[in-house]
């Protein structure tokens, strides 16, 4: 197991470097450059821009700028916002809470629904119930989240007034008000995610249930719950675990839309304003953070699969 983690960590470093290069390049690829963005459309002439470039070190060679950038990132200095000059880490810290709550809530709900429905539809694959779950999950995958979010905010929030249509109440202001603002966005995020998990688990679980080793267990009289939940599921979850980092990065992407519709002041909303304001340090920091999170999740998924599948652990087989 230690060997597996070491192998994965070795692969981790170059990926991280590539991510850093891409986030650094963000600033330099976009036309106009950061100085122009800072000055704004109204702003002064080329002298002001040259001054700003000098202040920010943007007139140095690219490699030197990259070195400085990496050095700062490694020290935890993500820079200052071009807009309000607050440290980027503070800005991220302020917006992180709602997003984490949203993503964690959606992930937990999706796992409960998706794993449950996936197992059920695989075990009952020859019945009408199994087919129904499959059809429903197909529907869940194909509903666009921005459409559903707008519709839900409009009907549940505005017309029926059951829940607040927009806004966010932090957990510190009480659990019930907090949940009232979070429940709709969490459910909307969970629908496609749980459908995705359900379909993946259904296909891997079906493959496991129809495999020779499960037939052996039936032939030897092993009880059905042991076969389903200990023997088949153990083999069926590994492909799903490998997909989970992808699922979570999909969720992070989806929060951008959902936070925007429900006016939740999370990282997703902050990305949108950073892009509109050409606030490169904030944007770079968020992209870097999300990339690192996804990388770490991939590492965790590999370790989890290794813990479940001895063939992965020993580096043998597939």
Q: What does the alpha-carbon distance between residue 261 and residue 189 come to, in Å, rounded to a whole number?
A: 12
Cα 272 from chain centre? 16
Reading the block at residue 311, the tokens are 């063939």
Q: What CA–CA distances, in Å, run from 315 to 99, 195, 294, 300, 311?
A: 37, 32, 23, 17, 6
The beta-carbon contacts of 48-55 under 8 Å, at least 24 apart in sequence, are none
Q: Which residues bind another protein (CB under 8 A)?
A: 126, 211-224, 226, 230-231, 234-235, 238, 308-311, 316-317
Reading the block at residue 217, the tokens are 């267990």
Q: Which is nearer to another protein, 32 or 221 (CB)?
A: 221
* Exposed e or buried b per residue across 254-277, where buried means at least 16 C-beta atoms within 10 angstroms of its C-beta: bbbbbbbbbebbbbbbbbeebeeb
Per DSSP, the three-state class of 131 is helix
* Exposed e or buried b per residue across 136-162, where buried means at least 16 C-beta atoms within 10 angstroms of its C-beta: ebeebeeeebeebbeebbeebbeeeee
Q: What does the alpha-carbon distance between residue 97 and residue 102 come to, in Å, rounded to a whole number?
A: 9
Helices (H), the chain: 2-29, 33-39, 46-55, 62-74, 88-123, 128-142, 145-152, 175-209, 212-219, 224-225, 233-261, 267-276, 280-308, 310-313
Q: What does the alpha-carbon distance between residue 71 and residue 24 come to, in Å, rounded to a whole number?
A: 12
Q: Which is nearer to another protein, 103 or 208 (CB)?
A: 208
Residues 12, 295: contact at Cβ < 8 Å?
yes
Q: What does the alpha-carbon distance between residue 144 and residue 123 come to, in Å, rounded to a whole number?
A: 29
| CA dihedral of residues 275, 277, 283, 286 (deg, nearest 10) | -90
């Amino acid at each position: 197991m230690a060997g597996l983690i070491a192998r994965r960590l070795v692969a981790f470093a170059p990926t991280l470097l590539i991510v850093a290069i891409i986030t650094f390049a963000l600033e330099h690829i976009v036309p106009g450059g950061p100085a122009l963005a800072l000055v704004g459309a109204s702003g002064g002439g080329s002298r002001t821009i040259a001054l700003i470039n000098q202040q920010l070190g943007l007139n140095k060679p690219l490699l030197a700028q990259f070195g400085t950038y990496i050095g700062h990132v490694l020290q935890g200095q993500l820079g200052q916002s071009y807009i309000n000059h607050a440290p980027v880490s503070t800005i991220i810290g302020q917006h992180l809470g709602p997003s984490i709550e949203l993503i964690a809530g959606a992930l937990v709900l999706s796992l409960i629904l998706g794993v449950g429905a996936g197992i059920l539809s695989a075990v009952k694959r020859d019945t009408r119930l199994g087919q129904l779950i499959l059809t429903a999950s197909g529907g869940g995958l194909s509903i666009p989240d921005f459409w559903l979010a707008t519709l839900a905010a409009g009907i549940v929030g505005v017309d029926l007034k059951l829940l607040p249509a927009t806004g966010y109440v932090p957990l510190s202001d009480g659990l019930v008000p907090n949940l009232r603002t979070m429940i709709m966005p969490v459910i909307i995020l969970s629908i496609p995610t749980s459908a995705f998990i359900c379909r993946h688990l259904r296909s891997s679980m079906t493959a496991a249930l129809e495999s020779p080793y499960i037939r052996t267990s039936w032939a030897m009289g092993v009880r059905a719950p042991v076969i389903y939940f200990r023997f088949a599921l153990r083999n069926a979850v590994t492909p799903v675990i490998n997909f989970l980092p992808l699922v979570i990065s999909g969720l992070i992407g989806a929060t951008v839309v959902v936070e925007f519709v429900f006016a939740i002041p999370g990282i997703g909303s902050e990305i949108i304003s950073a892009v509109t304001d050409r606030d490169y340090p904030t944007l770079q920091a968020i992209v870097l953070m999300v990339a690192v999170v996804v990388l770490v999740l991939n590492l965790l998924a590999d370790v989890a699969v290794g813990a479940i599948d001895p063939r992965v652990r020993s580096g043998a087989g597939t």
